[in-house]
Amino acid sequence: MYKIVNKSVERIDVYEKVTGKAKYGADLNCGSQLYAKTVYSRYPHAKILKIDTKEAEGLEGVIMVITAKDVPGNNIMFGKFPVLAQNEVKYIGDGVAVVAAESKEIAEKAAKLVRVEYEELPGVFDLEEAKVENSKRVHSEIENNFIEHSHHLLRSGDVEKGFKEAEVILERTYRTQFVDQAYIEPEAVIVLPDPYKIGVEIHGSIQNPYTIRENVATVLGLKINQVRVIQSTIGGSFGGKDESVMLMAARCAVIALKTGRPVKMVLTREESFLESSKRHPFQANYKIGAKKDGSIVAVENKVYVQGGAYNNKASFANWRASIHAAGPYTIPHIKTDIYGLYTHTIYGGAYRGFSAPQMVFATESLIDELAEELKMSPQEIRLKNCLKPGDEMGTGQILLPGKIPAPLEKMIREICRKTDFESKRKKYIQEREGFNPLKKGIGLSCTFRGAGLGGEGIDTASATVTIDIDGSILIQSGLVEMGQGMRTAHAQIVAEVLGVSLDRITFGNTDTAVTMDSGATVASRGILAGGNAMLIAATELLQRLHQQASIMLNCNIENLISENEFIFNKSKPDKKLTFEEVVKECLKGQGLSLSAQGWYNPGPEKLSPETGRGKAYPTYSYGTAVAELRVDVQTGKINVEKITAAYEIGKAINPQIAKSQFYGGILQGVGYAIMEEMRTKDGYLKTKNFDDFLIPSSADMPEMEVTIYESDDPVGPFGAKSVGELGIELIAPALANALYNATGKRIRELPLNLERVLLGKTLKK
Amino acid sequence: MQDFNFIKPTNLEEVSSLLINYKDKARLIAGGTDLIIALREERLPSNLEIIIDISHLKELDYIREEGGYLRIGSGATHVEIAQNELIKRYAPLLSQAASLIGSPQIRNRGSIAGNIVTASPAADAVPALIVLDSRLVIRKGQEKREELLQKVFVGPYKVNLKSDELVEEIYFKKLPQKAKSDFSKLVRRNAVDKSRVNLAVVAQQNEDKKVIDIKISAGSITPLPQRFKEAEDLLLGEIPTANLIQKTGEKVAEEMMVKSGYRWSTEYKEPVVKSLMVRALNRVLEVE
C-alpha cells in the first residue's frame, strides 16, 4: 500500500501561512516604488470626448498619468479587454486613465482630478436586449452581440424522433445571477522594470501567470521572454484573479517601463467588485421528454450566457456547458446549443465550477420537475436514468470499469439510505398543510464533471523537480497554489515515487522563467495534469537514482526498491543504501543531473465540429448531495440545516484536503443558492461591497457530511482526478428541490432569496 | 482620506469643552463601527478638524439601577448591555436586541448611543428603547437637558442634536414584573446583516387578561423609528383574541404603508410585517 499518497498529511505550506510569514501580493514592497490607481468610467456606455490629465499631473507627488495612447504595443488584450478604454467605455468598470504617484494617498487624490468628458450612449444591459436582432451592438466590428466562438453544441440521436416517442414533455426556463468569487484578498500586483535587460518582472495575486505574461508582452510590444511573472502567495482566487490582474499588470507594466520604477497597485474591495470577473448569468431554456415509466427519451435546450462588455471565458465555459447540459443521464436524443452574449455590463469569467453550477441548477431542477409530473420520487427517476457501466454518454463515450467509471447508481442509493430521504420527503409533503409556518424540506441532486480541460484546450502541464546535495527536494509546478492544497498533493506524489519522507520537500512559487507554460490553473486540473507532470519528473529522477544504485549494489535495476528513505535490492534487503548516499554519488561522484522536468501531454481531444461528439474528457468525476432545510413560509427565510454529499474522485491523494475542498465548495454553493447576487441596473453596479454582497457567515453554515468514493479510474496520478470544483455545483439544485419539497413551490431563478421564496417572483429594486 | 486630529480627552468635561469650541468641526468616536465607514467613504463634512475619542471614558460606561429606573451610560457597548443582569431582568427585550446586533466584533466595539445618533432606520437597539419609553440625557458644557428618545429622530440618519451636544445617558423605567416584552428580527444572513424588519413589543395584562399596557415599535419599515399607536389602540383595554391579534398585525402593516409609501419591497414587507407582528404579539399576550 501507499506510504504517503492517500494519507491526510499536513500541508507543506501551512506553517508559513498560519504564522503570517508568507507574503501576499500587497505585502511586497520595493524601494522607490510608485503607487498606481485607475480612473474608472462614469457610465456603462459612453463616448470619450476628452481626457484632461493636467490637473492631476500638476499635483505634487504625481509622477505620471497614462491613457490608452501611452500604451506602447497592443492596447487590446485577450477577450477584447482594453488596457485603457480609448474612444468609448463599454461598461462601468472600464479604466480610462491610470495615475502613478509617490504615495497611495496622492494617487487617490490625483485619480479624482482626472477630468473626463463623456457623451452618454444607450446600452444593452441584459440577455433579452442582447439577443434581439438589429439591437444596439457592444462591439461594432461584429454583426450582433453573440460572442465569437462561444456557440457550442451537442447533437446526439434525433430529438424530433425522441419527442415523438415521449409520453410526457416539459418545457422550463431557469435563470441564474452574477456572483463574485469573494476571495478574502483583493487583487494586488507589483511590476518591476527588469534591472538587467529590457523587460518587466511581475509579482502578485496571479492565478494564471502564463496568460498574463503573454498579454503583457503584447501590450508592451515585447517578446514573451522579456516578461517574467512570479506568483505571490494567493489569498483565494476561485477563478477570479485573472482578467482584473491582467489589466492591473498591463497598466503597471506600461508605467514601470516608462518611469524605470517599480509600480504597485492594490485594488480596494469596491474596485475588485467593479473590475473583476463574475460567474456568468445563464438563461437556460429546456425541453425534456420521457416515457411514463420515467425513462428520458429526449432533451433539447437553448442556453444564453451573459458575457458582459469583454469576455475571454464564455467560449470555454460554454463548451464545458455543452457537454454537461443534459446531466449525468443516459438519453438517446440530445440537442444542445449554448450561446454567449455581450452586454454593457460587468463581465463573466471563471468561478469555481465555471459553467457547471448554472447548468446543474437547471438540469437537476428539471429532473425533479419531471419526477413530480410522472409521480415518481426524485431518487427513482435518477436511478432509472443515471449513467451506468456500459452506457453510452451523449458524447459517444462508453462507460467501462477500468476506463471511465459510472458509480452514480450506488452513490444515489447510499446517500438516500443514509439521509432517510424517501420517508422524510413524504413526511414533509404531508406537513406542508400544517399550521406551523416553519416547514422542513429535503432535496436531492447529482452530477458528473469532466476532469481537466478535455476538449476545451490542450491539457499539458509541467513540473520541475530538483534534488540537491543534502537530499532536499525542490518542486515547482507550472500550475499555481491558491489555497487548494495542490502543492501538498504534488509533494506527496513526488515523495511516494522517490520513497522518501515529505520533510525533504519544499516548493517554489510558480515562475514563468523557470517552468514551462502549463496553461491556466483551472478546470480542477492541478492534480490530474499538474500531478501527472510531477509523477513523470519524479519517475525520471528515480530512474537516474536507481541506475546509479544498481552499480553501487551490483544488481539488476529492476530489482531495486525505494522505500522509507532507503534504496535496496528486494532480493537482498539487508544491504540498504540511504537516499543521501545515492544522491551524493550521482551529483558529486558521477556528475549526473538530478533535476528533471516532467511534461504531461494527454494529446489533443478530437471532437466532431458538426455534432460536438467525441472524447470530450478523458474521464469524469461524480457527485451527489442531499440538502435539508427549514423555511419560514411567512417570511421566505431559508435555514440550511444539513448537506450530505458524496463525491467519486478516483483516488484522494490527501483525503483531508479533498474533504476541505468539498466543505468550502458546499458553503459557497449555499451562498450562491440563497443569498449572493451582484445586482446591476441599467449597466450600473449596485452591489458595491460586502454589506450588500452577502456571503454565508459561520452562523449560516449547515452541518456537512462528506463521503469520498474511490475507484479504479486510471487517468490521473495514482488514479486521482478532479476535486476542486465538484463541491459547489450540487448545492443550488438540491436546495431548490428541498424548497419545493417543503412548500410545493418551484423557484427557477437564483438566488432563493426572501422575496422569491415568499412571493414566487422577483422584486426589482 | 481626509486629514484630522485625533484627540483622546481624559474626562467628560474636556470632551464637552472641545465640542463647544469646535462645534461641527468635531466628531465623537466611541466604537467607530459607523464613523470609520463614513470616514473611509468620505461622507464626513469637509470642515472636519478633530475626532474626539470617548471610547475609554469610564464616566460614560455604566449600567445601573436607580429607584425605579435603569440608567445606561452612552458609552456602554452592545455586549455589555446584552450580558447585563439588570437589563436581562428589567428590560429583557433590550438585552435580546443588543445580543442580535451585527457580529461579536461589532457588539464588542459599538456603543448604545452610537446606535441612536447614527439614526439608521435599521438600528436594532432603537425600537427596543422606544417601547421602553427611553429618555436621553443630553449634555452641553455643564448644562444638561432631557429628551424623549423618539423626539430626537428627524429623518433617516438624522438627529436633532446640536454639534456641541453629546448624549450622556439613556434611561428608562424598569418594566413591571408582570409586563412581557419581545424583540425579533428578520435578516437575509444570520450574522452581520442589516435587519429587513425588526419588531419590539412591551405588553401587560391585568388579572382579567385585559391589556393595560401595549407599546409597539419597529425598525427598517418606516423612515423614522416610532410607535405604532393605531395598532396599540386596537389592543389597549381589550382582552386579546386571535382575531384581534391578526387585526393588530394588519394595522401595523397598514401604518407602515402610510408612513413609508409604496416601495419596491412593499409587496414583500406588507405580509411579512403582519405575520411577524402576529407572532410577536402571541409571544407576549395571553389570548382568550
Average pLDDT along chain A, 765 residues, taken 10 residues at a time: 96 94 96 97 98 98 98 98 98 98 97 98 96 90 96 98 98 98 98 96 97 98 98 97 98 98 98 98 98 98 98 97 97 98 98 98 98 98 98 96 95 98 98 96 98 92 97 98 97 98 96 94 95 98 98 97 97 96 97 97 89 95 98 98 98 97 98 97 97 96 98 95 96 98 98 97 86
User: How far is A349 from A355, CA to CA, in rounded Å?
Assistant: 9
Give the pLDDT band of residue B214 (cuts 50, 70, 90).
very high
C-beta of residue A446 within 8 angstroms of C-beta of residue A411? yes
Which chain A residues are within 8 Å of B276, Cβ to Cβ? 634-635
Q: What pLDDT digit, counting tens, does each position of B71-94 carry?
A: 999 999 999 999 999 999 999 999
Q: Are residues B69 and B12 in the same domain?
A: no
Asked if B188 and A754 come within 8 Å (Cβ–Cβ), the reply is yes
- On whether both B205 and B258 belong to a single domain, the answer is yes
The CATH number of whichever domain residue B239 belongs to comes to 3.30.390.50
CATH number of the domain to which B132 belongs: 3.30.465.10
Backbone angles phi, psi at A761, to 5 degrees: -150, 170
Which among B192, B196, B271 has CB closest to A697?
B192
Q: What is the pLDDT of residue A51?
A: 98
Give the three-class secondary structure for A8. Answer: coil
Q: Do A634 and B272 touch (CB under 8 A)?
A: yes
Find chain A residues with C-beta within 8 A of B268's C-beta.
636, 754-755, 758-759, 763
Residue of A681, A754, A758 best to disrupt the B interface, most CBs of B under 10 A: A754
What's the angle, vertex CA A727, arms to CA A722 and CA A732, rounded to 5? Answer: 140
Q: Which of B192, B200, B198 is nearest to B221 (CA)?
A: B198
Determine the distance in angstroms separating the CA of B7 from the nearest CA of chain A, rounded to an integer.
Answer: 22
Closest CA to A494 of A454, A458, A526, A466: A466
Alpha-carbon distance B279 to nearest alpha carbon in chain A (angstroms):
10
Other CB atoms within a 10 A radius of the CB of residue B56 amount to 12
**Distance (Å, whole) CA A1 – CA A562:** 14
Instruction: Based on the fold, state whether residues B237 and B190 are members of the same structural domain.
Output: yes
Same domain for B163 and B186, yes or no, is no
Cell numbers for A599 = 511534461
Rounded distance between C-alpha atoms, residue A28 and residue B92, angstroms:
50
Contact list, B272 vs chain A (CB under 8 Å): 634-636, 754, 758
Shared-domain flag, residues B215 and B113: no
pTM attached to this predicted model = 0.97
Using a 10 angstrom Cβ sphere, with 0-12 exposed, 13-18 middle and 19 or more buried, the burial of residue A414 is middle
C-alpha dihedral, A449 to A450 to A451 to A456, nearest 10°: -140
Choose the closest CB to A694 out of B186, B193, B275.
B193
Write down which residue in B126, B153, B173 finishes a domain. Answer: B173
Which residues of A are less than 8 Å from B185 in CB distance?
A: none
Hey, are the CB atoms on B272 and A437 less than 8 Å from each other? Answer: no
Over 80: is that where the pLDDT of B1 sits?
A: no
Select from A635, A699, A764 the Cβ nearest to the Cβ of B275.
A635
Pick B264's closest partner by Cβ from A697, A754, A763: A763
For residue A329, what are the CA distances in angstroms to A451, A617, A622?
A: 17, 16, 12
Residue B229's φ and ψ, nearest 5 degrees, are -65, -40
Decide which of B137, B153, B173 is a domain's last residue: B173
| Residue from B264, B272, B278 to probe the interface with A (highest A Cβ count within 10 Å) | B272
Length in residues, chain B: 288
Q: Select from A365, A339, A446 the least CA-distant residue to A749.
A: A365
Contact B276 A753 (CB under 8 A): no
- Show which of B107, B141, B173 is a domain's final residue: B173
Instruction: For residue B189, give the nearest of A105, A694, A755 by CB distance.
Output: A694
Kindly state whether residues B97 and B124 are assigned to the same domain. yes
- Cα B201 from Cα A372, distance rounded (Å): 43
Q: How confident is the model at residue B288 (pLDDT cuts 50, 70, 90)?
A: confident
Residue A409: how many other CB atoms lie within 10 Å: 16
Instruction: Work out the pLDDT band at B279, boundaries 50, 70, 90.
Output: very high
Distance, CA of A221 to CA of A199 (rounded, Å): 10
Closest residue in chain A to residue B196, using alpha carbons only: A754
Q: For chain B, give me the number of helices (H) and strands (E)?
A: 12, 13
Which value does ipTM take for this structure? 0.95
Closest CA to B29 of A268, B37, A669: B37
Which of chain A's residues have a Cβ under 8 Å away from the Cβ of B190? 639, 697, 699-700
Q: Please, are residues A383 and A413 in contact by the beta-carbon 8 Å criterion?
A: yes
Q: If interface means Cβ-Cβ distance under 8 Å, which residues of chain B face chain A?
A: 1, 103, 186, 188-194, 196, 264-265, 267-268, 271-272, 275-276, 279
The band of B187, judged by pLDDT with boundaries at 50, 70 and 90, is very high
Element (H, E) at A537: helix A530-553
Nearest CA in chain A to B265: A763
Plot region of A11 (φ>0 → left; ψ -120 to 50 → alpha; else → beta): beta
> Mind listing the pLDDT tens digit for each residue in A544-603?
999 999 999 999 999 999 999 999 999 999 999 999 999 999 999 999 999 999 999 998
Domain that holds residue B62: 58-173
Task: Check if the beta carbon of residue B17 is closer than 8 Å to that of residue B141.
Answer: yes
pLDDT at B117 over 80: yes
Strands (E), A121-187: 152-156, 168-175
Residue-level pLDDT at A207 = 97
Residue with grid cell 515562475, as numbered in its chain: A511
Check whether residue B169 and residue B129 sit in a common domain: yes
Partners of A634 on chain B (C-beta within 8 Å) are 271-272, 275-276, 279
The C-alpha atoms of residue B67 and residue A164 are separated, in whole angstroms, by 84
Chain B partners of A753 at a C-beta cutoff of 8 Å? 188
Q: Are residues B33 and B94 in the same domain?
A: no
Q: pLDDT averaged over chain B? A: 96
**Rounded CA gap, A356 and A362, in Å?**
10
For residue A367, what is the enclosing H or E element? helix A356-374
Q: Which domains are assigned to chain A?
A: 25-121+190-267 (3.90.1170.50), 278-451+619-759 (3.30.365.10), 455-600 (3.30.365.10)
Q: Are residues B195 and B151 in the same domain?
A: no
The dihedral built from the CA positions of residue A123, A127, A133 and A137, taken in this order, carries a sign that is positive
Kindly state the cell numbers that stand for A243: 482578467
Between B1, B191, B271, which is nearest A699 by CB? B191
B275 and A699 within 8 Å at the Cβ level: the answer is no
Task: Name chain B contacts of A269, Cβ cutoff 8 Å.
Answer: none
SS3 per residue for A674-713 = HCCCCCEECCEECCCCCCCCCCCCHHHCCEEEEEEECCCC
For A626-658, the DSSP string reads EEEEEEETTTTEEEEEEEEEEEE-S--SSHHHH
In 3-state terms chain B splits into helix, strand, coil percentages (rounded to 5) of 40, 25, 35
Are B76 and B152 in the same domain? yes
Do residue A697 and residue B189 have CB atoms under 8 angstroms apart?
Answer: yes
Note whether B206 and B227 are same-domain residues: yes
Alpha-carbon span A645 to A654, nearest angstrom = 18
Total domain count for chain B? 3
Based on the domain organization, do B72 and B167 belong to the same domain?
yes
The Cβ of residue B45 has, within 10 Å, a number of other Cβ atoms equal to: 11
Q: CA torsion, points A425, A372, A672, A655, in degrees to nearest 10?
A: 60
Q: Check: CB of residue B240 under 8 Å from CB of residue B164.
A: no
